[in-house]
Structure 1
Amino acid sequence: MDAPVTSLPHSAYTLQAVIRQLPDRVIIKDLNSTFITCNQRFADDLGIAIESVAGKTDYDFFPAELAACYQADDRKVMLSGKAIRVEEPYMLDGQPHWLETSKSPIFDAAGQCIGLTAIFKDITQQKQDHDEMQRRAWALQANSRTNQALVQASEEQELLQAVCDAIVADQRYPLALICGLNNVRQSRLQILSSAGNARAYASQLEINWDEHTAEGQGPIARCIRLGSTISLSQLQKSHDFQPWKDAARSFGLQAIVAIPLIAGPDLIGALAVYAGETHSFSPVEVQVFEELTRNVQFGIQSRRTRVAYQQSLQEQASQAQLLENALENALAAIASVLEQRDPYTAGHQKHVAELAVLIGQEMGLPQQRLRGLYLSGVVHDLGKIEVPAEILSKPSRLHPVEFALVKRHPEVGYNILKNIDFPWPIADIIRQHHEYLDGSGYPLGLSGEAILLESRILTVADIVESMSSDRPYRAALGIKQAIAQIQLMRDRQLDPAVVDACIRILEQGMFTPHLLTVEAQA
C-alpha cells in the first residue's frame, strides 16, 4: 500500500514558491522521504511535470542502491535536525561531472521536523577552476623548491638530484627524471637523476637516441632531437610510447611532459615529469616546467664558472620575486571572476586590501607580513563565488535564507584555498575575517587572541570600505559614519589597537573612499 502524500503548512508552501525560482535543482520531501514538490529544473531532468512528482520516492526515479543511499541521508538530516552537504562525481552525457548536494530539515512552528529540502548543484566548472588553480600552485611550488636547490646545491650532480626531489616532494608527480648524453655520438641516453614513488621505472628505462629505432621515437628522445617540449596526455593510447606501455602501466604512469635540457656542449638531455592521471599537464603547468628547466640549465652552466655562479644568486632572488608575483596575479585573477558577477562591489576587495595594508603599516607590521595581508584582502570575499549573482546584486535587504547563503562565504573561501601552500596563512585569514572579539562573529565563533591579527585588521578595513562605498540597497554612508561605527564596536567586537590605527589613517586623509556604482563603471 502506498504511503499517503503528506502536506505542509502555508509557510512551507511559501517556501516552495521561493525554491521554484532557484537556478539549482530542488525537491521537498516529507518525513517518509516522499516527494511533495520540486522546481522546474529538477522536473525537466526527469522529463515529467512538477505535479507528477508528488507522492513519488527516490525509488521511482533512481537505481535502488542509489535511492537507498539518498533516503539514508534523508533520515540522518531529519533525525539530527542538521543540514548536510556532500560533493560527489557523476556522469552526464558520457562526460565526468561533479554534483554538490545540500539537504536541510524543515521545521514547523513547534520546532518539529516535518520534512526536508534537497538542493542539487552542478559544480563541475567550479571544481575544474579549483583544480586548475591547484595544478598551477603545485607546479609553482615545485619551481620554488627547485630555485632553492639551485642556490643550495654545491655540485652539479647534487643539483640534478635536488631538482628531481623538489618536483616530487608533495607526491603530486610519481616520477621526475633527468637524462642526457655527453655528446651526440652516444646512442643511448643515460639517467642522470630520478626521484618519486615510481623511481624503479627509471632504473629500467631504455631510451635510444637513434630516430630509426622504436626506442628513439619516445617523447624524451623526440624532445631532445626537436629541441621542443613534448607532452603526452594518455600514454597508453600513444603509438610512440609502445615500447614502455606495459612498464608504465605497472607503475601507474599515465601522462608525461618532456622538456629539452641543453646546458652547453657537455650536457644534452631532457627533464621528464610523469603524472599518475591522464590529461594532467595543463598549458600553464607546462609553461612553469619550461621555466623550471631554463632555471636548471642556467644553474648548471653557472656552476662551471665562478662569475656565472655569483650571477645565479641574483637570478634566484629574481625568480623568487617572480613566483610571489605569480601568486599575486593568480589571486587577482580569481578576485576578478567574483567582481564580474557582482558589479556593485567591483574593486571592493582591492580597496579593502589597500586599507588593511595602511593599518598594518601604522601598527608596525613587517613587510613580509604586510604582503600576506594584502593578498588575503584581495581575495577575502572569494567564497561569494558560490552565492547566486542575483542575491549579490539584490537592490534591497536580503531575506534570512539569502543572508545565510552569504554568511557561508568565509568557510567556502577557506575550503578553496586551504590546500595551497602559500607562504602566509591566507586561507585562515579569510576564514576569520568576520569573527569578533566577543565571539559573536562567524563562522567559527572565535574570540580574542584566537583570531589572527591579520583577520582583525581585515574586519575593520572591510567595515570602513563597505560603509564608504555605494551598495545595491543604499548609497555610500561616508567616512564619518564609518569612524563612528568602528568606535562603537571598539573593544567589544573590534580590536582597539586596529580601530585606533585605522582612525588615525582616515583622519590624516591617507585613505580615500571609492564611491563605485554600476553607472560609474559603464
Structure 2
Amino acid sequence: MSSDIAQPTTATGHARQYGDRALQTLLSANRALLRAEQVNALYQEMCRIIVETGGYAMAWIGIARHDPGRSVDAVAHYGDRDGYLRDLRISWADVANGRGPTGTAIRTESVQINHDFECNPRMEPWRERARSHGYRSSLSIPLRDERAVFGALTLYAREPDAFDGAELELLNQLAEDLSHGVRHLRLRQEHAHNARLLRRSLFATIEALTVALEKKDPFTAGHQRRVSRLSARIARELGVSDFDIEGIRIAAQLHDVGMIQVPSELLVKTGPLTPDDYDLIRRHARAGFDILEPIDFPWPVAEMVHQHHERIDGGGYPRGLRGERILLGARIIAVADTAVAMNTAKPYRETPGPDATLQALRDGRGTAYDPAVVDACLHLLRDLREAA
C-alpha cells in the first residue's frame, strides 16, 4: 500500500464517522452485487452507492486497456457533475499522465492513498483541477480478476485524510467484492454466450435434418414444420411450460427424421402399400431415436420421436406403450401428426379432408389418443386450414 508524504491531521474522533459510512457503503454494495445482471450496470451502481450512501464526493471505475498508450477508460462514474473526468487522459504506463493514483494503482497493483491534494507533491499535476472541484483527498484501489489487475476504483472526498483505518479496510473489501462480482458476471455472460452459440448450432442441425428429409420425400415437404407449429400450440393450450414447449416443438420438427432410412422408392410409391411396406415405414420411429439419441438435448427429444406412434390403448408401435408411459410430448405429436397428415396429399391416397380429420380425432379420443390432447387440438382446429 502506498501513501503520500502528507500525514493525516484529522481528529481521531472522525474515524468512527468515516468507518460507519464505509460500512453502510459496503452493505449496500453487497446487496447490489446480489441483484447484478450486467457488468457495466454493476460498475455504475457501485459508483452511485459510494457517493449517495457513502457520502463521498465522486467515484469512478477505470479499466486498463492494452493499447500502445496503456490508456485507462472511465467506464462508470457518479458525482462528477462538473466534469472532473472530462478530457482527462489517464494511462497506467510509467509516464507523466500514468503516475497519478489510478494509473499507479493499476501499474503497481497496490492501493494508492492521497491524503491531501494541497500537501502531496505527487498530486501537483492534478492539484488545480481537484481544487476547482472541491476535492481534498482520494483513494485508488486496484480491481483484480483471476489473472491480473484489470482496472481501479477511485474515490474522492471533500475533506483531507478521509481514507484511513477501518474505513480503508472496508473500502478495500468493497473493491474485492466488486472484483469477485465482475468475475462471476463475466463467467455467467460467457456461459450464456456459449449457450446461444450451441442453440444456433442445434437449430442449424435440426434445419439440416428437416431439409434432408424433405428432399428425400417431396410429398411431405413442410409436414414436419406444420406438425411442429401445431404441437407447440396444443402444448401451450394445455398449459405446458415455455421450456417444455420448446422441446416438444423441436421433437415434432424431427418426428419423421427416421424416414431418411426408408427406401426412396417406397416414399414415392403411388400404389397401395403392402404389409411389408408398412413394416419398413414403421421402422422410422426407432431409426429416428437412433439418429437423435447421441445429441445432448435438454429435453427427451429422441424418446418423444421414438414414441410418437404409440397409442394410449397400447395399439401403437414400436413398443406398444400405454397411457402415462407415453411421454406427454409424444402424445401431443401423435395428435398433431394425425391432424396434419390427414390434410396432406400422399402419392398412394387422396387427402381425406377436414371433416374426416375431425372425425378421426374424435373416434380415437380415449383409445388411440389422449383425450385432453384431442380436446385441445379440436379447440384450435375449428378451421382445419391451420393444419394444412
Could you say which residue in structure 1 is the equivalent of 2:128? none
Normalized per residue, the structure richer in strand is: 1
Change (3 A) 1:504 1:323: same
Shift of 1:300: 7.0
Separation in 1 of the partners of 2:149 and 2:195? 19
Separation in 2 of the partners of 1:300 and 1:357? 44
Q: Pick the aligned partner of 1:502 from 368, 377, 381.
A: 377
Could you say which residue in structure 1 is the equivalent of 2:387? 513
The one-letter code sitting in structure 2 at the alignment partner of 1:403 is: Y
| Secondary structure of the corresponding residue to residue 387 of structure 2 | coil
Task: Work out whether residues 468 and 478 of structure 1, in 8 Å CA contact, stay in contact via their aligned partners in 2.
Answer: yes
Matches within 5 A, 1:105-120: none
* Structure 1 length-normalised TM: 0.39
Shift of 1:411: 0.7
Matched, 1:420 2:295: yes
The one-letter code sitting in structure 2 at the alignment partner of 1:499 is: V
Matched, 1:394 2:256: no
Q: Pick the aligned partner of 2:227 from 352, 357, 371.
A: 352
Could you say which residue in structure 2 is the equivalent of 1:475? 350
The one-letter code sitting in structure 2 at the alignment partner of 1:345 is: T
Change (3 A) 1:323 1:395: same
Change (3 A) 1:475 1:406: same
| Secondary structure of the corresponding residue to residue 318 of structure 1 | helix
Matched, 1:322 2:197: yes
Matched, 1:433 2:279: no
Change (3 A) 1:477 1:495: same
Q: Deviations over 1:240-289 (max 9, x none)?
A: xxxxxxxxxxxxxxxxxxxxxxxxxxxxxxxxxxxxxxxxxxxxxxxxxx
Matched, 1:442 2:317: yes
Shift of 1:493: 1.2
The one-letter code sitting in structure 1 at the alignment partner of 2:351 is: A
Separation in 2 of the partners of 1:473 and 1:404? 16
Task: Work out whether residues 355 and 511 of structure 1, in 8 Å CA contact, stay in contact via their aligned partners in 2.
Answer: no
Separation in 2 of the partners of 1:337 and 1:301? 47
Separation in 1 of the partners of 2:210 and 2:353? 25
Could you say which residue in structure 2 is the equivalent of 1:266? none
Change (3 A) 1:406 1:313: same
The one-letter code sitting in structure 2 at the alignment partner of 1:482 is: T
Could you say which residue in structure 1 is the equivalent of 2:43? none
Separation in 2 of the partners of 1:495 and 1:423? 24
Task: Work out whether residues 354 and 384 of structure 2, in 8 Å CA contact, stay in contact via their aligned partners in 1.
Answer: no
Q: Pick the aligned partner of 1:405 from 277, 280, 294.
A: 280
Could you say which residue in structure 1 is the equivalent of 2:260? 385
| Secondary structure of the corresponding residue to residue 512 of structure 1 | helix
Could you say which residue in structure 1 is the equivalent of 2:9? none
Matches within 5 A, 1:55-134: none
Change (3 A) 1:301 1:333: farther
Shift of 1:312: 5.1
Shift of 1:313: 3.1
Matched, 1:453 2:328: yes
Could you say which residue in structure 2 is the equivalent of 1:258? none
Q: Pick the aligned partner of 2:338 from 463, 471, 478.
A: 463
Q: Deviations over 1:181-226 (max 9, x none)?
A: xxxxxxxxxxxxxxxxxxxxxxxxxxxxxxxxxxxxxxxxxxxxxx
- Structure 1 or 2, whichever has the larger Rg, is 2
The one-letter code sitting in structure 2 at the alignment partner of 1:480 is: D
Shift of 1:314: 3.4
Identity over aligned residues, as a percent?
38
The one-letter code sitting in structure 2 at the alignment partner of 1:401 is: D
Separation in 1 of the partners of 2:147 and 2:355? 61
The one-letter code sitting in structure 1 at the alignment partner of 2:387 is: P
The one-letter code sitting in structure 1 at the alignment partner of 2:386 is: T
* Structure 2 length-normalised TM: 0.52
Q: How many residues are paired up?
A: 216
Shift of 1:317: 2.1
Shift of 1:321: 2.6
Change (3 A) 1:315 1:474: same
Could you say which residue in structure 2 is the equivalent of 1:492? 367
The one-letter code sitting in structure 2 at the alignment partner of 1:399 is: T
The one-letter code sitting in structure 2 at the alignment partner of 1:512 is: E
Q: Pick the aligned partner of 2:210 from 316, 324, 335.
A: 335
Shift of 1:308: 5.9
The one-letter code sitting in structure 2 at the alignment partner of 1:361 is: R
Q: Deviations over 1:397-435 (max 9, x none)?
A: 211111110011101111122232211111111110000
Could you say which residue in structure 1 is the equivalent of 2:24? none
Segments of structure 1 that go 5 or more residues without pairing to the other structure are 1-150, 152-298, 515-522
Separation in 2 of the partners of 1:428 and 1:414? 6
Select the structure with the greater relative contact order (CA < 8 A; seq sep ≥ 6). Answer: 2
Segments of structure 2 that go 5 or more residues without pairing to the other structure are 1-36, 38-144, 152-178
Separation in 2 of the partners of 1:428 and 1:383? 13
Matches within 5 A, 1:141-290: none
Shift of 1:459: 0.3
Task: Work out whether residues 372 and 424 of structure 1, in 8 Å CA contact, stay in contact via their aligned partners in 2.
Answer: yes
| Secondary structure of the corresponding residue to residue 472 of structure 1 | coil
> What is the aligned-residue RMSD (CA, Å)?
2.4
Could you say which residue in structure 1 is the equivalent of 2:174? none
Shift of 1:335: 1.8
Shift of 1:474: 2.6
Q: Pick the aligned partner of 1:367 from 238, 242, 248.
A: 242
Shift of 1:315: 4.4
Shift of 1:471: 1.4
Q: Deviations over 1:300-350 (max 9, x none)?
A: 789946486445533432331331232122122112111101000011111
Shift of 1:440: 0.6
Separation in 2 of the partners of 1:303 and 1:491? 66
The one-letter code sitting in structure 2 at the alignment partner of 1:335 is: T
Separation in 1 of the partners of 2:194 and 2:294? 23
The one-letter code sitting in structure 2 at the alignment partner of 1:448 is: G
Task: Work out whether residues 302 and 311 of structure 1, in 8 Å CA contact, stay in contact via their aligned partners in 2.
Answer: no
Change (3 A) 1:398 1:321: same
